[in-house]
C-alpha cells in the first residue's frame, strides 16, 4: 500500500474540482417514513467527514446508501465524479467497517484480512504481499497468525480496518467503529484511524453519535437531524457559531434561554449561552447556587437567576450550594426562529 504523505485536504471541495464523494439529493423512505430527506453533501478527496446526530436521525441509513446496501428513492451517489448509484455494494469503490468488527472467528487475522481479495480472485502472491503491508500499517504484523478471540478489542478493530484498507478503496466508510471499545481505547484507536486516514489520503465518512469523537478526528462534521443535514462545518466553526438552535443544543454544553431572560421580549428569539461564558461576578445579576459538580480542573455550577437555571463552568475556587452570587453573561448566541442571527452578542451587565 502506497504510503503517500498528502497535504491536508481542503475543508470543502473547491468549486470546479471533482469531489471525492458527492451525495446529491439523496432520499430514502423506509416503513412509510422519509428516513433520509433530500440530503446533499460534497466531500473533498482525502477529506474525513463525520456524520453526527442523535439516535435514529438516519446516519447508518445514509452510510448504507453510500455503500450500496440500500438503493435511494431519489438522488445520486458519485465517487471521484463517477455516478455509482446503480452499482451493487461489491462493485463500488468503497469499503465499510462495522461496529461489531464482523471478523470470522475460525480464521486467523491474516486470513480474515485476505478474505476480500480472495473473493475478488486476486493472485495468491499479491494477496500475501498486500496483507503483510496492511497488517504492518495497522501495527498487527505480530498477530498475523492469531485468531480474533485471542487479540484485544482494539486489535480486533484494527484488523477490521485492515480488512477494509486491503481492498484499496477510494472511499472508507466507518459506522460507529469504536463503540465496542472502552473509553481510553476509543481515544487511542480513533487517533490511529485518523493517522492512517491522513497518511493514505483516503476520503472517509465516519458515523458517530459521540460529538467528542466527531470533533476530534474530522476535517468537517455534518450534524444530522431527522434525515437532513443541519450544518456542515469545521469542528471549531461548529462550536463557535452553530447555525441552528438544534446544533447549538447538540454540540457542547449550553444554556438555552427564552428571550425574556435577557430582558428582550421579542417573539421567536432564543438565546444560547455557553457555560464558559457565564461568569461569577459580584456586579452581575443576583443568583443562588443550586449545585456544584467538581470536574477536577473546573467545576460545573448551577445557579438560579430570575427563575432560570444557568450552568457555569468555574475555574478556581467554586462557590458553595446555597450561596448568593452575582452572575454575568459575557457572550450569547442569538437565534430567530431557530436560525443563528448573531454569534457574538455582548450582554450588558
Q: Does 60 bind Mg ion (CB under 5 A)?
A: yes
Q: Does 222 bind ligand ATP (CB under 6 A)?
A: no
Neighbours of 232 (CB within 10 A): 23
Query: CB burial class (10 A; 0-12, 13-18, 19+) of residue 221?
Result: buried
- Name the minimum Å distance from CB 64 to ligand ATP: 8
Judged by beta carbon distances under 5 to 8 A according to partner kind, the member of ligand ATP, Mg ion, none in contact with residue 4 is none
Query: Which residue, chain included where needed, has cell 412509510?
Result: 32
The per-residue b/e assignment along 46-55, b for 16 or more CB within 10 angstroms, e otherwise, is bbbbbbbbee
CB 244 within 8 A of CB 224: no
Sole window of 54-62, 143-151, 230-238, 306-314 interacting with ligand ATP (rule: CB under 6 A): 54-62
**Of the two residues 46 and 53, which places its CB atom closer to ligand ATP in the complex?**
53
Query: Which residue, chain included where needed, has cell 487517533?
Result: 191
Sole window of 29-37, 157-165, 193-201, 267-275 interacting with ligand ATP (rule: CB under 6 A): 29-37
- Name the minimum Å distance from CB 208 to ligand ATP: 8
CB-closest chain residue to Mg ion: 60
- Identify any residues that bridge with 127 across adjacent strands, giving them in sequence order: none
Q: Does 57 bind ligand ATP (CB under 6 A)?
A: yes
Q: Does 59 bind ligand ATP (CB under 6 A)?
A: yes
Q: CA 10 → CA 46, 49, 223, 340, distances in Å? A: 9, 12, 19, 25
Q: How far, in Å, CA of 54 to CA of 66, rounded?
A: 20
- Name the minimum Å distance from CB 48 to Mg ion: 18
Helix (H, G, I), strand (E, B) or coil at 183: helix
Neighbours of 323 (CB within 10 A): 14
Among 158, 186, 190, 209, binds ligand ATP (CB under 6 A): 209
**Of the two residues 136 and 210, which places its CB atom closer to ligand ATP in the complex?**
210
**Of the two residues 32 and 267, which places its CB atom closer to ligand ATP in the complex?**
32
- Name the minimum Å distance from CB 343 to Mg ion: 30
Reading the block at residue 335, the C-alpha cell is 437565534
**Of the two residues 56 and 321, which places its CB atom closer to ligand ATP in the complex?**
56
- Name the minimum Å distance from CB 142 to Mg ion: 33
Sign of CA dihedral 8, 215, 71, 169: positive
Q: Which residues bind Mg ion (CB under 5 A)?
A: 60
Q: Which residues bind ligand ATP (CB under 6 A)?
A: 30-31, 35, 53, 55-61, 209
Amino acid at each position: 500500500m502506497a504510503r503517500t504523505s498528502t497535504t491536508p485536504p481542503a475543508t470543502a471541495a473547491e468549486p470546479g474540482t471533482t469531489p471525492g464523494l458527492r451525495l446529491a439529493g439523496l432520499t430514502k423512505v423506509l416503513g412509510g417514513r422519509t428516513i433520509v430527506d433530500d440530503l446533499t453533501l460534497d466531500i473533498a478527496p482525502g477529506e474525513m467527514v463525520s456524520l453526527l446526530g442523535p439516535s435514529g436521525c438516519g446516519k447508518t441509513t445514509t452510510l448504507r446508501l453510500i455503500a450500496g446496501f440500500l438503493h435511494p428513492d431519489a438522488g445520486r451517489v458519485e465517487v471521484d465524479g463517477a455516478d455509482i448509484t446503480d452499482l451493487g455494494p461489491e462493485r463500488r469503490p468503497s469499503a465499510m467497517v462495522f461496529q461489531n468488527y464482523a471478523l470470522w472467528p475460525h480464521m486467523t487475522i491474516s486470513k480474515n484480512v485476505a478474505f476480500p481479495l480472495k473473493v475478488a480472485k486476486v493472485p495468491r502472491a499479491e494477496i500475501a504481499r498486500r496483507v503483510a503491508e496492511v497488517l504492518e500499517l495497522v501495527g498487527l504484523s505480530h498477530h498475523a497468525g492469531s485468531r480474533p478471540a485471542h487479540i484485544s478489542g482494539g486489535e480486533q478493530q484494527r484488523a477490521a480496518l485492515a480488512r477494509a484498507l486491503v481492498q484499496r478503496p477510494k472511499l472508507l466508510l466507518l459506522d460507529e467503529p469504536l463503540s465496542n471499545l472502552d473509553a481510553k481505547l476509543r481515544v487511542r484507536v480513533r487517533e490511529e484511524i485518523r493517522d492512517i486516514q491522513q497518511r493514505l489520503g483516503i476520503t472517509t465518512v465516519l458515523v458517530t453519535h459521540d460529538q467528542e469523537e466527531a470533533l476530534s478526528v474530522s476535517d468537517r462534521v455534518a450534524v444530522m437531524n431527522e434525515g437532513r443535514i443541519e450544518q456542515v462545518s469545521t469542528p471549531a466553526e461548529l462550536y463557535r457559531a452553530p447555525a441552528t438552535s438544534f446544533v447549538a443544543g447538540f454540540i457542547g454544553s449550553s444554556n438555552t434561554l427564552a428571550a425574556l431572560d435577557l430582558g428582550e421580549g421579542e417573539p421567536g428569539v432564543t438565546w444560547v449561552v455557553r457555560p464558559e461564558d457565564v461568569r461569577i461576578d459580584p456586579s452581575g445579576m443576583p443568583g443562588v447556587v443550586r449545585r456544584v459538580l467538581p470536574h477536577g480542573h473546573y467545576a460545573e455550577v448551577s445557579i438560579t437567576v430570575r427563575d432560570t437555571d444557568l450552568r457555569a463552568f468555574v475555574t478556581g475556587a467554586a462557590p458553595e450550594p446555597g450561596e448568593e452570587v452575582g452572575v454575568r453573561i459575557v457572550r450569547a448566541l442569538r437565534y430567530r426562529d431557530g436560525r443563528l442571527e448573531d454569534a457574538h452578542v455582548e450582554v450588558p451587565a
